[in-house]
Amino acid sequence: MPGLVPGIHDFLRWPRETWMAGTSPAMTETASHRPIESLSLQLNGVEMLADLSGALYWEAERLLIVSDLHLEKGSSFAMRGVLLPPYDTVATLGRLGAVIARYDPRTVIALGDSFHDRDAHGRLSDGNRDIIAALQARRDWIWISGNHDPALPSDLGGVVASEVAIGTIVLRHEPTGAAGEIAGHLHPKARVLTRGRGIERRCFASDGERVVMPAFGAYAGGLNIRDSAFARLFHSLDFIAHVLGDHRLHAIAASRCC
């Protein structure tokens, strides 16, 4: 039985398994021994790793990118009388801690909508604040602002930016469709039908020139990549969904999804 509130030591350890809300965790005996999967992804000629957790790792820069954490989404609804379980922040930070522990990046960029609403950071528990501080220790941390969190306070640690450019690569929250862009905001998910079964999972959407990252937050929903918002970005269905499966990623043509 999992602990109620895992402490910082609990999740900074080497992960027992990568697990993501919305993708079903593998519970078979063999599952936990499988290697952590990632897929290589070319972006404007730069090689990145799409990680099964939904993070993107730029090895050459030792840069880890996560998008749309939506921390404190649960309490945001609670304020309006919908008492969602208050464990989303700790669950999201737990997975983030696992992927950071695995890659040990020099820099972490949270690609916007890190907090679900303007006041969300104020509702962070002391424990979760400590967890964030521990994650930020010994590395650079950049909060890119998003539409949910346009203004972030300085006491969170790290620096705040509206976008970051590294060589030919630009990182910003809302995608514009520009070449070399890494963005989030849309929460892409892909739906695949095979043998009478529909499987729906979060995914990276990329055509080699731009990538839209999946939402990382435990309560973050998704937008189907067949939605017109993606057609506008990619100008066609000629892009690939790197779908987060149970134990591995799958590159599937957007036209194959539905």
Partner 1 sequence: MPADRDPPVDLLPDHFRQWFAARGWAPREHQLALLQKARDNRSALLIAPTGAGKTLAGFLPTLVELGEASLHLAPLAGRGRTVSGASSPGDGALQHNATPPHPAQQAALVAPPSPRKRGEGRSVTRSAGLHTLYISPLKALAVDIARNLETPIAQMQLPIRVETRTGDTPVSRRARQRKYPPDILLTTPEQLALLLSSDDAPFLFGSLKRIVLDELHALVTSKRGDLLSLGLARLWRIAPQVRAIGLSATVAEPQSLARFLVPQPAGAIASADIVVAGGAAQPVVEMLDTSERLPWAGHSARHALPEIYDLIKQNKTTLVFVNTRSQAEMLFQELWRMNDDNLAIALHHGSLDVAQRRKVEDAMAAGRLRGVVCTSSLDLGVDWGDVDLVINVGAPKGASRLMQRIGRANHRLDEASRAVLVPANRFEVLECAVAIDAVAENAQDTPPLRIGALDVLAQHVLGCACGAPFWADDLYDEVRSAAPYADLARVDLDDTVDFVATGGYALKTYERFARIKQDKEGKWRVTNPRVRQSYRLNVGTIVEESMLKVKLVRGRGGGSGSTGAIARGGRMLGQIEEYFIENLVVGDTFVFGGEVVRYEALMEDQVYVSRAHDKDARVPSYMGGKFPLSTYLAERVRKLLDDKRAWAALPEQVRDWLRLQAYASQVPGVRELVVETFPRADKYYLVCYPFEGRLAHQTLGMLLTRRLERSRAKPLGFVANEYALAVWGLGDMSQMIRHGRLDLDALFDPDMLGDDLEAWLAESALMKRTFRSCAIISGLIARRSTSEEKTRRQVLFSTDLIYDVLNRHQPDHVLLRAARADAATGLLDIRRLSDMLARIKRRIIHKELDRVSPLAVPVMLEIGREAVYGEASDALLAEAAEDLVREAVGEHDERLPDN
Q: Which residues in this chain contact partner 1 in the complex, by CB under 8 A?
A: 1-2, 4-5, 19, 21-22, 24-25, 27-30, 73, 75, 77-79, 81-88, 90-91, 125, 191-199, 201, 218-223, 226-228, 231, 237, 240, 243, 245-248, 250-253, 255-258
Find the shortest distance in angstroms from Cβ 139 to partner 1. 27
- Residue 49 vs 251, nearer CB to partner 1: 251
- Residue 63 vs 117, nearer CB to partner 1: 117
Q: What is the dihedral of CA 233, 54, 145, 123, to 10 degrees?
A: 140
Residues 124, 75: Cα–Cα separation, whole Å: 9
Helices 126-136 & 88-103 angle (0-180, nearest 10): 20
- Residue 63 vs 203, nearer CB to partner 1: 203
Residues 110, 96: Cα–Cα separation, whole Å: 10
Contact 226, 254 (CB under 8 A): yes
Q: How many CB atoms lie within 10 A of CB 65?
A: 26
Find the shortest distance in angstroms from Cβ 208 to partner 1. 13
Find the shortest distance in angstroms from Cβ 188 to partner 1. 13
List CB contacts of 119: < 8 A, sequence separation 6 or more.
none
Find the shortest distance in angstroms from Cβ 164 to partner 1. 28
- Residue 160 vs 199, nearer CB to partner 1: 199
